Amino acid sequence: MTTESKPSLAKVQVGRRALLCGIATLSLGFLPDAAEAATGITQGKDGKIHIDLKKNKGLAKVGGAVVLGLADGSSLALVRSAAGTNGLNALNLSCTHNGVTVMEQDKKWICPAHGSQFALNGKLVNGPARSALMKYPLKVTSSEAIIG
């Protein structure tokens, strides 16, 4: 059974250093060697993260993802799992089993610790995790995704 819970807004805090140091990366089609720096990412005074969709064209393809390191040490991914505005998901990449960061592989999120697998949209595919990856609130317009 999969359940999705919503992390608090307070967790969506991108450290200023993380943004300035370019921790944000854009991976295209889950190929590590195709990763490139993401651009057009800002954080509003309200803490919400704005990702320019036109500057991150890889997000147009299923499997494209922008991965951000957060100030609390966890990672957030804006990932496309399907076409259209409803096909984007903002996921916390901490495995719901024991919190290890999941990694992209074969259009799934795989946990390197004990092998849990999650679909691109965060839904649980195989345990030992017992629930989906947590999702952040997400609003998508024609030009940007707003997380938080």
Q: Which residues bind ligand FES (CB under 6 A)?
A: 95, 97-98, 100, 111, 113-116, 128-129
Residue 107 C-beta: closest distance to ligand FES, Å:
18
Residue 16: how many CB atoms within 10 A of its CB? 10
| Residues sharing a CB contact under 8 Å with residue 81, sequence separation 6 or more, in sequence order | 62, 87, 88, 89, 119, 120, 121
Question: How far is Cα 85 from Cα 98, in angstroms, rounded to an integer?
Answer: 31
Smaller CB separation from ligand FES, 29 or 115: 115
Smaller CB separation from ligand FES, 11 or 97: 97
| Residues sharing a CB contact under 8 Å with residue 33, sequence separation 6 or more, in sequence order | none
Smaller CB separation from ligand FES, 129 or 145: 129
Residue 117 C-beta: closest distance to ligand FES, Å:
9
Residue 74 C-beta: closest distance to ligand FES, Å:
13
The phi, psi pair for 111, rounded to 5°, reads -90, 125
Please check whether residue 26 is in contact with residue 58, taking contact to mean a CB–CB distance below 8 angstroms.
yes
Smaller CB separation from ligand FES, 132 or 138: 132
Residue 126 C-beta: closest distance to ligand FES, Å:
9
